């Protein structure tokens, strides 16, 4: 197969200090059991909050900055590792006063404020199971998750409280709602003991859970255990390349897996200073944050990168971003054009990473010291065995499309689907975890994403991945984003339809329907020329925005359902709908 390669100079001084400097050697020798020794105590206990925070307090990191919060108004709060240790101890004692016991589900319905992070750690410290809820959730989405999980305590704010008040009587297991911005809570924190006996949890004890949405039915609760932090920390070290003197910014919300794995647990386990911004997306503001806080490692989503792209390269060039040394992306596949743009804008590429809520941590990635094959997912994380298999779980030859599958046994793998044992077992076939994503693997071990198994389009006997069509469209200067689906067609089985978000300047140039049709024809020909004659969209619709999850993933099933007049399923996790 043909691909564009960004070569890494293995002798370059910049790459010589990476934790993973020889991928093949480390992959061959890596052992999860050996890695666990860094985090598991001599008596076999492992508490993820202790690993993330308290173990640093007995070292020189005690007074090191752990979290830097900046809000929309520019107000900044800073917390050392000792600050987080003491405050999470206090909140843990408050939770115990409210009757929270080991194994209880305690959910956080909070915006990105310090008490989201402090409370998450406190819940783990007392042996509870932490759940995170997006602050944009409305009553039905909240009820579905809180009822299914039998949550006993919810921690929220006065502003969000009314959404819970309307459903509280229906939640038979909900005993208490704690609001963190009231005078009563502030007094409780001031008076609470800062001494807390951290629960001696075992590596396989439940630690946190997240709900994911599907096309049908209610959201499912994905449960992770304390030893997930071993994988999260090792991948933060080997993939995100986090080092002691870094200032790191992950733009994810803790309501989804990246925000927990790489904004709370994995990064703090390595003792890294982490920036948290609670404001809205704004290109100028983001660049200001990167410059003002001298961010060195940046982890964000392709959607955000494409929105930055739309502003061009002159804006980032007007800021001092010289401290940036490593860029990574997550949430959905990264379009090749975004990688090329980042080199122009920042002098370095974004490195794409792939994982899922169910996997708990990065599984396949473009590592800092490996050549980037533009558009590729990269290679498996050391300790992860990945393959392309057919629907029966049999490996297929290199270059053949199939299911992206993983050999079970990595520490961050989900341990349950809450109260749905059958659903949990359905993920595994013939000794493989089936991701639900389709892809290929080349002869050098690089993986290539095609699309969700139910998103792949079969047109005139040819299989086409929506991602490659979307990437071809995004390379056109008029296009900011694109979402592609297969639409039933009597002659071809399916045709490719593209929903396209245009650059604002281009939108202003379309004065009438004739202008719009002319641009659609231009885009069709562009894809034919740059991709394949059969893989171009026969229908194009211009829209203002694409339906996406809050992690930035394009929800093609929503586009397809609306196009065909079908039920859209659960939409509670959508950013735009």
Strand-pairing partners, residue 484, are 498
Average pLDDT over residues 305-309: 89
pLDDT of amino acid 290 = 98
Q: For residues 285 and 325, what is the distance between their CA atoms, to the nearest angstrom?
A: 20
Average pLDDT over residues 74-103: 97
Average pLDDT over residues 509-517: 84
State the CATH architecture for 454-564.
2-Layer Sandwich (3.30)
pLDDT of amino acid 10 = 57
Q: How large is the greatest C-alpha to C-alpha distance in the chain, in angstroms?
A: 73
Mean pLDDT of the chain: 90
Give the DSSP letter string of 105-147.
EEEEE--SSHHHHHHHHHHHHTT-EEEEE-TT--HHHHHHHHH
pLDDT of amino acid 575 = 57
Top-tier CATH class for 5-447 = alpha beta
Identify the residue whose tokens are 């959730």.
137
Lookup: tokens for 432: 């493989």
Report residue 50's pLDDT band, with 50, 70 and 90 as the boundaries: very high
E strands present in 355-409? 364-365, 372-373, 379-380, 386-389, 402-406
pLDDT single digits (tens) 226-252: 999 999 999 999 999 999 999 999 999
Helix axes 336-346, 466-474, angle to 10 degrees: 40
Lookup: tokens for 499: 């929903």
- Count CB neighbours of 121 within 10 A: 27
Give the closest residue to 494 by CA, choosing from 453, 527, 539, 528: 539
Domain boundaries in the chain? 5-447, 454-564
pLDDT of amino acid 571 = 61
């Amino acid at each position: 197969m043909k691909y564009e390669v960004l070569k890494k100079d293995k002798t370059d001084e910049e790459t010589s200090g990476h934790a993973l400097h020889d991928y093949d050697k480390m992959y061959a020798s890596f052992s999860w059991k050996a890695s666990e020794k860094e985090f598991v105590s001599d008596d076999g206990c492992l508490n993820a909050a202790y690993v993330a925070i308290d173990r640093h307090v007995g070292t020189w990191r005690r007074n090191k900055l752990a979290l830097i919060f900046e809000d929309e108004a520019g107000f900044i709060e800073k917390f050392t590792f000792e600050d987080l240790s003491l405050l999470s101890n206090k909140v843990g004692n408050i939770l115990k006063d409210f009757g929270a016991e080991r194994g209880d589900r305690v959910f956080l319905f909070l915006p990105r404020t310090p008490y989201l992070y402090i409370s998450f750690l406190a819940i783990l410290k007392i042996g509870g199971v932490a759940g995170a809820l997006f602050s944009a959730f409305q009553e039905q989405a909240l009820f579905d998750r809180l009822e299914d999980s039998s949550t006993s305590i919810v921690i929220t704010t006065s502003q969000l409280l009314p959404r819970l008040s309307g459903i509280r009587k229906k939640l038979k297991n909900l005993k208490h709602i704690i609001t963190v911005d009231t005078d009563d809570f502030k007094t409780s924190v001031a008076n609470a003991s800062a001494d807390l006996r951290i629960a001696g949890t075992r590596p396989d004890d439940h630690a946190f859970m997240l709900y994911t949405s599907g096309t049908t039915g209610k959201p499912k609760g994905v449960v992770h255990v304390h030893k997930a932090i071993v994988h999260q920390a090792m991948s933060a070290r080997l993939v995100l390349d986090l080092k002691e003197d870094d200032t790191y910014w992950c733009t994810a919300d803790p309501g989804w897996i990246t925000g927990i794995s790489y904004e709370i647990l994995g990064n703090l386990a390595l003792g890294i200073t982490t920036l948290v911004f609670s404001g809205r997306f704004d290109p100028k503001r983001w660049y200001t944050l990167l410059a003002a806080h001298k961010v060195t490692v940046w982890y964000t989503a392709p959607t955000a990168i494409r929105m930055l792209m739309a502003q061009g390269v002159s804006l980032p060039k007007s800021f001092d971003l010289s401290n940036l040394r490593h860029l990574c992306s997550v949430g959905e596949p990264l379009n090749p054009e975004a990688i090329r743009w980042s080199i122009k804008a920042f002098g370095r590429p974004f490195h794409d990473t792939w994982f899922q809520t169910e996997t708990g941590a990065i599984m396949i990635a473009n590592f800092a010291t490996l050549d980037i094959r533009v558009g590729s997912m990269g290679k498996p994380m050391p300790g992860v065995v990945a393959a392309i298999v057919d629907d029966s779980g049999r490996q297929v030859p290199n270059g053949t499309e199939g299911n992206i599958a993983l050999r079970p046994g990595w520490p961050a793998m989900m341990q349950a689907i809450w109260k749905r044992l059958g659903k949990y077992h359905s993920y595994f076939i013939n000794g493989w975890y089936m991701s639900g994503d389709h892809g290929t693997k080349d002869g050098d071990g690089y993986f290539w994403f095609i699309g969700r198994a139910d998103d792949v389009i079969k047109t005139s006997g040819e299989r086409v991945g929506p991602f490659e069509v979307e990437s071809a469209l995004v390379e056109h200067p008029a296009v900011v984003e694109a979402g592609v689906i297969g639409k039933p067609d009597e002659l071809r089985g399916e045709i490719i339809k593209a929903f396209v978000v245009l650059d604002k300047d281009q939108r202003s140039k379309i004065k009438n329907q004739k202008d719009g049709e002319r641009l659609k024809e231009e885009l069709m020909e562009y894809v034919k020329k740059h991709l394949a004659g059969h893989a171009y969209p026969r229908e194009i619709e211009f829209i203002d925005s694409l339906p996406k999850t809050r992690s930035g993933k394009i929800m093609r099933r929503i586009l397809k359902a609306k196009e065909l007049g079908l039920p859209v399923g659960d939409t509670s996790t959508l950013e735009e709908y």
